Copies of this chain bind each other. A is one copy, B any other.
Amino acid sequence: MRVAILNVTGYAGVELARILARHPHAELVSVTGRAEAGKKLSEVFPHLAALDLTIEPEVSASVDVVFSALPHKASAEACAPFLRQGVKVIDLSADFRLKNVAEFEEWYGVQHPCPEYLEQAVYGLTELYRKELQGCQLVANPGCYPTSAILALAPAVAEGIVKPDFIVDSKSGVSGAGRGLSLGAHFSEVNESVSAYSLNGHRHLPEITQELARLAPNEQPRVTFLPHLIPMTRGILSSCYASLKDGALPEGPKGAKELRELYLDYYQGEPFVKVSAAPPATKHTAGNNDCILYPAVDWRTNRLMVISCLDNLVKGAAGQAVHNMNVMFSLPETAGLEALALYP
């Protein structure tokens, strides 16, 4: 299988290259990038020396699937020609995630270049859309925060044990801010510090809301989502809160057990979702494709708390994209994604 990556020079792109370089069924044949075009990939990224590729301005080879790690709008524009040629596309940007084009245009402040593809695009949260992904042509790979939040809340929402009022308090490493330079990712500014951002609303909010709504079609989910930047490179931990419906769970250890079983059942057989027996740390996911969930109840307030950990560049981006590729092409789902977390 011949693969291309658009915009290999951002962190999602370079992480795709790292994973695909060791994928047993895929061959990376073309990588693109604007500012660094013409350079050897290994010159910009020494850890990819094993890949003998040159960064190109455009995909030069014929390929079976294209991963786009371009920014929104630019990504849809670059993907459209491939879609027209029948090439499969996995888009890591936000362009095809929101089904409502007006909502997209409001949150992203641009006109959608090709809304005609929205309907066929499959939201690539693999665990929830496995069937739709098989053989599809276009995948909208989820955002890093939505992946952590939706996987955390899906069992509770789908099983109807919580009221539709959610708080998602997320803590992210700095690589989520990308490889582009900014004061907000300048070492001395963010090291030894934590801050909240996007208090007026983060672009990942509508994505979370859309998917929670789909899981409980008769309820109108209300979501407060607040992301925080913490001084580490990789990892997202989301703390998700929602009030239990009356009588949803018996109080105490029995309820805790039922809750855990509900989560275990919901994700039974999933290769990349783990329901842990103790509160997890993002370190347990560094460099691998797991999402670790830990559901608990604050019995004093009858509130569900679900902790969700993942590596924002793997399960939150490139790893999930490769998982989606595996499903699209009916490959073994874990192909290329077997790496264990890099602890410590």
The interface of chain A, by Cβ under 8 A from chain B, is 11, 14, 18, 21-22, 43, 45-50, 165, 167, 169, 171, 173-175, 177, 179, 181-183, 185-197, 199-201, 205, 222-224, 226, 228, 230-235, 237, 239, 241, 274, 276-288, 292, 294, 296, 298, 300-301, 303, 305, 307, 309, 338-344
List the 5 closest pairs (A to B, CB-CB), nearest first: A193-B283, A47-B341, A195-B281, A188-B344, A181-B181
Shortest Cβ distance from residue A149 to the other chain B in the assembled complex, whole angstroms: 14
Contact indicator A239/B169 (Cβ below 8 Å): yes
A224 x B47 contact (CB < 8 A): no
**Measured CA separation A300–B174 after assembly (Å):** 27
Residues in B whose Cβ lies below 8 Å from that of A292: 46
A–B pairs, 11, beta carbons within 8 Å? A47-B340, A173-B188, A181-B183, A187-B231, A191-B192, A192-B232, A192-B234, A199-B279, A222-B300, A226-B298, A286-B342
A343 contacts B280, CB within 8 Å? no
CB-contact partner of A47 in B199, B277, B284, under 8 A: B284
Q: A340-B48, A341-B47 are in contact. Are A232 and B179 (CB under 8 A)?
A: no
CB atoms of A276 and B197 under 8 A apart: no
Q: Is A197 a contact partner of B279 (Cβ separation < 8 A)?
A: yes
Contact B183 A282 (CB under 8 A): no
Which of A195, A197, A274, A287 has the most B CB atoms < 10 Å from its CB?
A195
Most chain B CB atoms below 10 A, which of A18, A232, A279, A280: A232
In the bound assembly, the distance between CA atoms of A49 and B338 in angstroms comes to 12
Cβ–Cβ contact A196 & B237, under 8 A: yes
Residues of B within 8 A of A234 (CB): 192, 344
Cα–Cα distance between A281 and B195 once the two chains are bound (Å)? 5
Other than the given A181-B182, A199-B307, 20 more pairs (CB < 8 A) read A11-B188, A18-B342, A21-B340, A43-B277, A46-B278, A47-B342, A49-B274, A50-B340, A169-B241, A171-B194, A171-B228, A185-B187, A193-B283, A194-B235, A195-B279, A195-B281, A196-B307, A197-B279, A199-B298, A226-B239
Given contacts A232-B193, A283-B192, contact A340 B18 (CB under 8 A): yes
**Shortest CB–CB separation between residue A306 and chain B, in angstroms?**
10
Q: How far is the CB of A173 from the nearest CB of chain B, in Å?
A: 8
**Complexed CA–CA distance, A157 and B20 (Å):** 39
- Closest chain B residue to A171, Cβ basis: B194
A308 nearest CB across to chain B (Å): 10
Q: A194-B232, A241-B224, A296-B199 are in contact. Are A188 and B169 (CB under 8 A)?
A: no
Closest B residue to A184 by beta carbon equals B187
| Separation of A46 and B194 alpha carbons in the complex (Å) | 15
Q: Which of A21, A175, A193, A339 has the most CB of B within 10 A?
A: A193
For A193, the closest partner residue in chain B by CB is: B283
CB-CB under 8 A from A226, the residues of chain B are: 239, 298, 305
Contact with A223, one of B205, B301, B309, B341 (Cβ below 8 angstroms): B301
Give Cα A195–Cα B171 distance, bound, in whole angstroms: 10
With A286-B192, A300-B222 already in contact, the answer to whether A46 and B239 are too (CB < 8 A) is no
Q: Please give me the residue from chain B that is nearest to A11 by CB atom.
A: B344
Q: Please tell me if the beta carbons of A174 and B187 are within 8 angstroms of each other in the complex.
A: yes
